[in-house]
Each structure stands twice: as C-alpha cells, then as structure tokens.
Structure 1
Amino acid sequence: MLDVTVLKEWLHRDLSSREKLLLILGAFDEPAKLDDIRDRAIQAGFRIPKKWNLSDILGKSGGMALRLPAGWELSQSGKAHLQAMGVGLANSAAVRIAVDLRGHLDKIKNATTRAFVEEAINCYEAGLHRSAIVMSWIAAVDVLYHEIATHHLLAFNKEAKAVNVKWKDAVNADGLSRMGESDFLERLVPIGVIGKNVKEELQKALKLRNGCGHPNSLKTGPNMVASHIEMLLLNVFETFSS
C-alpha cells in the first residue's frame, strides 16, 4: 500500500490517466468507491479532472483494476504493472527515501546532470541497486571532470606532474580520464577542490561502484544505495553542477 507522501510524488509525474488511477488504487488496502478515489487524490495534491470517466478508464485497464461490490481495487496484474513502473508497493519505505532524494534534484542546476541523477534514482526505486550505484558514480565523475577542466586545469596538471613526471597535460575533460579515478580524487585535495574528508567518502563510493560493476557476491540493499546517492548529491552534484 502506498502512503500519501509517495502517492503525491508519483501523481505529479507525466503519466497517463490510467496509470494515475492505478496509483491511487495502490494507496488503498480495501476496495475504494469513486468518491474515495477522488478524495485520496486530493489528499496527495492532485485533483482528478472532471472530464475523466473513472469507471470507463478503470474498466478498460485490461484487468489491472477490478470492480467489486464494495468498489475498485488493484488486481495482481495491476500491482505488477505498478512495480514494473518502479512503484515499490511492497516497500513503501524505500520509495519514501527516493522521494527525499528527489527533493535534492531541484538544487542541481545542470539539466543533463539532473536527468542522469534522476535516472539513477529511478533505478533505485525499481530495486536495481547495482545499476543505481554505477550510474550515479559515472555521473559524479563526469561532473568532477568538467569542474576541473573548466576551472582548475592548470593547477590540476601541475599537481599531477608533481606526483608523476610522466603525466601528459590534460587539455579537456576527456584528457582527465586518462588518470585512474582513485588517483584523480587524490589530486583534488592539494588544489583545494575538495577536502580530505570528502575525498575519503568519494573513495569509499568508488570502491562500492567497482564492487557493483562486476559479477560477484557483493549484496546491496536500499539503505546502502540511498546513502551512496545522497552522499554524491550533497558533495558533488549540488556543489559543482552549474
């Protein structure tokens, strides 16, 4: 069963009338009458348009909504459809965490970065934990590359050569990718781009990303993924995305 907080997040997305009504039904643990459906939508900040014929829309849902004497309810296929959309009916707590993570998105100024992070959160909502970790890390490194290439390239190359005389100066973000990601993070501290504590957290995130990028026995859960994404949001995306 979806709580109103989660329902509110989903109802304000660009979804079809059928999917929105199925979502509202997902917020009931018993059959709901049409007036109940309208009231629950209002509680979630969404007023169902008067032109919507609720019985017709639900009746043409292909069996995903069932009409019972006491009202409408989701069928098993309806629940499966919502879960395929990424709605965690069985784990609304995880989806509430995703709602909190989405609250950070408006603080990301760069539209491309924001879209990439949103896709990572979509993976999280769908239970694709490894994908969410890998995608969010790739986006974070891209943000850091462009930050250095735009504002700190001279200082970075100088520091890189001080550590490795064979380093060939990078002239753009692509050139920075020639350096291993762990070494890249180490170079950012002396030039003042990030602090030591942030670097240590990013190194942990890199280690987790590497563990998720290859078949192995590493197990991940929603809280681990949420912590990973939130750390990147606070220390990379909101700080450097412009």
Structure 2
Amino acid sequence: MDPLRIADYRTRSRAFTVEAHAIFSIHEDARKSRVVEVHASFEALDELSLKQDDLFRQALRCAENGLYRAAHVMAWAAFMDYLEEMLASDGLVQVRALRPAWKGRNIEEMREYVTEHAFVETTQPLGLCTKNQMKALLGLLNKRNECAHPSDFYPGVNETLGYISEVIQRTKQLQAKSL
C-alpha cells in the first residue's frame, strides 16, 4: 500500500478518535471518553516537571480504571509538587520572609516539617492567588484528605473528573503567576 495513503488513514483515524471521544464524553457512562476530555485539558499545562507530568498521568489512569479515591490523591500530589517547586523557585527567599520559623534548608526538608495546608495558606500573602482561590485550594486539599484517609466518602466518576479538572485549572492559574 502507498505510504502516503497509510499516513492519510492514520491522520483520519486519529481525527475520528478525537471526535468520537468528544461526542461520547457527554454521556454519563462513557468513562473512557470523559477521561480523554480531561486528558486534553491536562495536555494544555505548560512547564511541568517529569514528576508532575507522571503524577497527573497516574491520576488520569486511576480515573480510567475506576480507582477514584486514588485519582484524587494522585492529582493533588501533582499539584502540591508544582506548588512546592514554585515556592522554592527563588531559593525560598519570599517563603522565609513570610514564615521565618519554618524549618528546612530546602523544599525537600520543609516538606518534612510544613503541612500541605500551611504551604497552601502562603499562596495568598505571596500574591499567587486571591483569598477565595486559596480557600478553594484548601477545599481541594480537604477532598484529597477524605480520599487518602479512612472515610465514608467514595467519589464516582463525575466527582473524580471534576476534581482532576479543577486541580488542572488551579495549576494553570499558578502557572500564570511567578514569585
């Protein structure tokens, strides 16, 4: 078969797949297609580390496989890694000015002493987000905690895809800022 025809078939097949997932994603029980739509949002993120990229991909794989609590945990882990690296981007100068009592010579050591809640609370005074945005981040952290620790909370596909989408959007908002 002609290589140009094969390439044309591949291109058309990919376009068909994208269109099919877009159509099926609006249906409640089309989990795979709905995850593909969230995956497209994820692809729009810029400048993620390999670790952050992998964590977001793991969250999406968990959602594809019905591991909804795990998907919440992995998406939050990706966000926190991004936030912590952002806070450390200036050598922790602004963080130390804001929180001089925090222990740790670098962000890796600080992770041992500082809670995720405390890290998120620094976003507003550092100008990385508004008070309302910070509260929304704390809400996402609370939701992650419900999934990471024993609780009666068992999210479904809708909650999980919404959570991952919101975490991606909040990461995009942070990407627009800098320390």
Deviations 1:166-203 (A, max 9, x none): 433x4322133121111211122111122222211111
Per-residue deviation, 1:143: 0.6
Contact 1:185 1:203 (8 Å CA) reproduced: yes
* From 124, 127, 131, the counterpart of 2:70: 131
Per-residue deviation, 1:222: 1.1
Contact 1:120 1:132 (8 Å CA) reproduced: yes
Per-residue deviation, 1:240: 3.0
- The equivalent residue for 1:91 is 29
- Describe the shift of the 1:218–1:116 C-alpha distance in structure 2 as closer, same or farther (beyond 3 A): same
- The equivalent residue for 2:132 is 197
* From 54, 57, 74, the counterpart of 1:118: 57
Larger radius of gyration: 1
The question of 1:171 aligning with 2:143 is answered no
Contact 2:84 2:119 (8 Å CA) reproduced: no
Identity of aligned residues (%): 24
Q: Which runs of 5+ in 1 are unaligned?
A: 1-40, 47-89
Name the TM-score, length of structure 2 as normaliser.
0.75
Distance in 1 between the 2:140 and 2:14 partners?
A: 40
Contact 2:129 2:174 (8 Å CA) reproduced: no
Aligned length: 153
Contact 2:55 2:77 (8 Å CA) reproduced: no
* From 96, 101, 120, the counterpart of 2:38: 101
The question of 1:211 aligning with 2:146 is answered yes
SS of the aligned residue for 1:151 comes to coil
SS of the aligned residue for 2:122 comes to helix
Q: Which runs of 5+ in 2 are unaligned?
A: 1-12, 19-27
Contact 2:35 2:60 (8 Å CA) reproduced: yes
Distance in 2 between the 1:222 and 1:203 partners?
A: 22
Deviations 1:125-145 (A, max 9, x none): 111000000011111101101
Q: Which has the higher contact order (CA 8 A, sep 6+)?
A: 2
Distance in 1 between the 2:82 and 2:172 partners?
A: 7
Name the TM-score, length of structure 1 as normaliser.
0.56
- Describe the shift of the 1:190–1:111 C-alpha distance in structure 2 as closer, same or farther (beyond 3 A): closer
Contact 1:148 1:156 (8 Å CA) reproduced: yes
